[in-house]
Structure 1
Amino acid sequence: MAPTLYLYALAIPIAVFWCGKWVVHLIALIYGKVKLHKKVVQYPVEVPYPGVSILKPLTGVDPHLFGNLESFFTMSYPLYELLFCIEDDGDNSIMLVRCLQEKYPNVDSRIFIGGERVGVNPKINNMQPGYRAAKHELIMISDSGIRMKEDTLRDMVHHLKDDVGLVHQMPFSSDREGFAGTLEKIYFGTVQARIYLAADFFGVNCHTGMSTIMRKALLDEVGGIKAFGCYLAEDYFIAQSMKDRNWKISISSQPAWQNSGICDVNSFQARLTRWAQLRVAMLPRMIIFEPLSECMVIGGFASWAVSFLFNWDPLVVYLVHILSWFLCDWILLSIIQNGSVSFGKFDFVVGWLFREFSGPYLFVRALMESKIQWRTRTYHLKWGGLAEELKPKVKV
């Protein structure tokens, strides 16, 4: 009798969690259809647009950088400034920025070189001089790999309602050739999008700071961006500080179009591994819940659970589970893309299977790594998200 009770105590929570995952699927599909790709609303003539100071931290040059940066010079927004923050005075991106400044002399833009060390986070250190010089009431932080549409900034500002302190774009990917481009679009259009949309629906902090706009006064209340220099995942803690002060965070209707010139499977998987390391350090409960959220993992557990509870055929349940998950992801990707994707259904099947089977492996690899690599620097993560940089040993 006792072993049977233990099995019921295990099977019922698994079945409930499995049902909860399907609720998340449903919410993501409906909320994504309602929330995303809405026509940008123009402010009335008598209502002035607030000024926006855009921080652009740059490190190095890739084949798409010039076009990405140029998209910020051509935005249809009446009042903004571009603050390019470059750590190294020998960085080739300085030449690209100056070329664009000559091409668009009417756009307010400045370059800040050298950064300022205020913590372990290199991105915060790089942006600090630009932040101090910002003159507008809104601050936007935008990574170098982001490409903007003409009306994207207006869309983000429109979502900054009176009770909203921060608006961010849901990460997505531009159309790019090759398997790596397909894999990246599948990840951001399914796994990431599902969690992002459900989190925004429930008001949960799932902020990824690659393209975000916020009220500068709220940052200044806690000491500015340098107050978050002790974290590598500064984006999460910035958003959490606003939620802790009863400000809402929201996604805009336009996804962030990532358009980095570097697109290969190894670098993308290294990026996902690094993100998993950060999530586990900030939220240790993810050690249990994140693997269980994977399609193949939860499908296996759920097949056993419903087989035990209802005497259903576990193989049939597992196959139906995978097929249903697959179809939901295809529909969600089409919603995020707002039309047809740039690859065929066979490519989606291959990319989707690769992502689903590699996801648990990358998470385990993240747990096995005690250090986190960020460009040329190495860090040690502590529980709670604090980080310390590991300096290379000098041979004597």
Structure 2
Amino acid sequence: MAQAFALASGALVATNLVSILIAGRRLDATGAPPPDLRKKPPVSLVVPVRGIENFTAETLERAFRLTWPRYELLFCVAHGNDPVIPEIEKAAIAYPHVEMRILVGDDRISANPKLNNCVKGWQAARYDWVILADSNVLMPPEYIQHLMGSWRSDSGLVCSTPLGSRPEGFWAEVECMFLNTQQARWQYAGEAVGLGFAQGKSMLWYKPMLDANGGIHALNAEIAEDAASTKLVNRLGLKVHLVSAPFEQPLGRRTEQEIWSRQARWSRLRRVTFPGFFAPEILLGVLPPLLLALAAVALGDLTLLPTVLAVLVAIYLPEVALARSKGWRLSRWSVPAMMVRDVMMPAIWLRAWIGGAIDWRGNTMTIGTNASELKEAPAGS
């Protein structure tokens, strides 16, 4: 029995290492140049915005500084009194050559507030290529080129995961470890072996293709627009591809409650939309192989401290190496943050099965397996 526990622990450690090796091979380092492109068609960027975030001024300005020859910015706001509107107008003054519109209105097509906010932007987009871009993405100058350059003959959608950067405080470090060496790593490993899943942070669509298959309203098929996108693209016999160098999301300060709320919401969304892929997530992180190793110690002849240290090193050293090789966030708090993340993960996984109401930036979302509901917070909250 001790040998069985030890083998199971070793299998989980090996799986973790293989995912890191696959992701490391698939990913380029931060700042890597985009692919060369001969054709650069005009692009519409639909950016849903709500309220002021930690780096709003900077992320807005970055959107006006893209090097693509011709693009338009469509900022979508649900309410005309949103405090982000003056910030958009302020950023636009310095870049009068960039096509920009602010679209105000609330199209309730789903229980997903972000998708509702994007409808008017999609309908107003002038160009065939459309990017749905979250407002907190720190777009590099070659943002569009990275996305367009990742489009292949069998692509139905090109996306990028967010890379956490510029954390302030320990809990923001924890969020970096959730986003980067955990979630981004597994998403890129999955895409590399043919299991591409969409990520809603940055999504490049060929508009005629989506319009021919229900348009943006088709993304209402699931509570999460990225899950609906994945299923739609797969149904068409196409694939979801990821850019080779993901885009940053600067974090600033985060609280424990914010991390819990965000991860619980994402976890619940994965549980509802892809239950078969979500269920094995309980095996991720350091706790499962560590507990199996401890069982092997209790039942066999292994020594406690060397066994525990071996598991910790085997899990965290490759993770640190991946972050360092790609230029991702690393600090003296990174390994402690990884440990806290891994302690939180089983509780978040269990929370996803319980269901109930979850907060999304002041909105109360009830995410169910058959139906979901949205109660929106007052404008400006």
- TM-score of the two chains, using structure 1 as the length reference: 0.86
Q: For 1:246 and 1:75, locate their aligned partners in 2 and report how far apart those are by CA, in whole Å.
A: 32
Q: Is the 8 A contact 2:29 2:245 kept in 1?
A: no
Runs of 4+ in 1 over 4 A off after TM superposition: 7-18, 34-37, 305-308, 310-315
| RMSD between superposed Cα atoms in Å | 2.8
Match among 26, 29, 41 for residue 35 of structure 2? 41
SS in 2 for 1:214: strand
Q: Is the 8 A contact 1:152 1:254 kept in 2?
A: no
Shift in Å, 1:148: 0.8
Q: For 1:182 and 1:40, locate their aligned partners in 2 and report how far apart those are by CA, in whole Å.
A: 28
SS in 1 for 2:228: helix
Q: For 2:325 and 2:57, locate their aligned partners in 1 and report how far apart those are by CA, in whole Å.
A: 29
In the TM superposition, what whole-angstrom CA distance separates every residue of 1:170-202 from its partner, at most 9, and x where no partner exists?
A: 221122332133222222221112211211111
Tell me the residue number matched to 2:22. Answer: 27
Tell me the residue number matched to 1:388. Answer: 373
SS in 2 for 1:111: strand
Change (3 A) 1:194 1:62: closer
SS in 1 for 2:167: coil
Query: 317-326 or 134-143, which moves further after superposition?
Result: 317-326
Q: What residue identity is the alignment partner of 2:26?
A: Y
Q: What residue identity is the alignment partner of 2:362?
A: T
Change (3 A) 1:282 1:302: farther
Q: Does 1:161 align with 2:152?
A: yes
Change (3 A) 1:257 1:360: same
Tell me the residue number matched to 1:236. Answer: 227
Shift in Å, 1:19: 3.6
Tell me the residue number matched to 1:330. Answer: 320
Q: For 1:188 and 1:380, locate their aligned partners in 2 and report how far apart those are by CA, in whole Å.
A: 24
Match among 81, 85, 100 for residue 109 of structure 1? 100
Higher CA-based Rg = 1
Query: 256-265 or 117-126, which moves further after superposition?
Result: 256-265
Give matches, 1:134-153, under 5 Å. 134-153=125-144
In the TM superposition, what whole-angstrom CA distance separates every residue of 1:26-57 from its partner, at most 9, and x where no partner exists?
A: 3223333x58653223323xxx3122111110
Q: What residue identity is the alignment partner of 1:72?
A: A
Identity %: 26
Tell me the residue number matched to 1:276. Answer: 267
Aligned length: 377
Q: For 1:15 and 1:176, locate their aligned partners in 2 and report how far apart those are by CA, in whole Å.
A: 33
- TM-score of the two chains, using structure 2 as the length reference: 0.89
Q: What residue identity is the alignment partner of 1:335?
A: S
Give matches, 1:1-396, under 5 Å. 16=11, 18-32=13-27, 37-44=31-38, 48-260=39-251, 263-285=254-276, 288-301=279-292, 304=295, 316-337=306-327, 341=329, 343=331, 345=332, 347-383=333-369, 386-389=371-374
Q: What residue identity is the alignment partner of 2:219?
A: F
- Stretches of structure 2 lacking an aligned partner (at least 5 in a row): none
Q: Is the 8 A contact 2:363 2:374 kept in 1?
A: yes
Query: 23-32 or 150-159, which moves further after superposition?
Result: 23-32
Query: 312-321 or 274-283, which moves further after superposition?
Result: 312-321
Change (3 A) 1:151 1:112: same
Q: Is the 8 A contact 1:146 1:260 kept in 2?
A: no
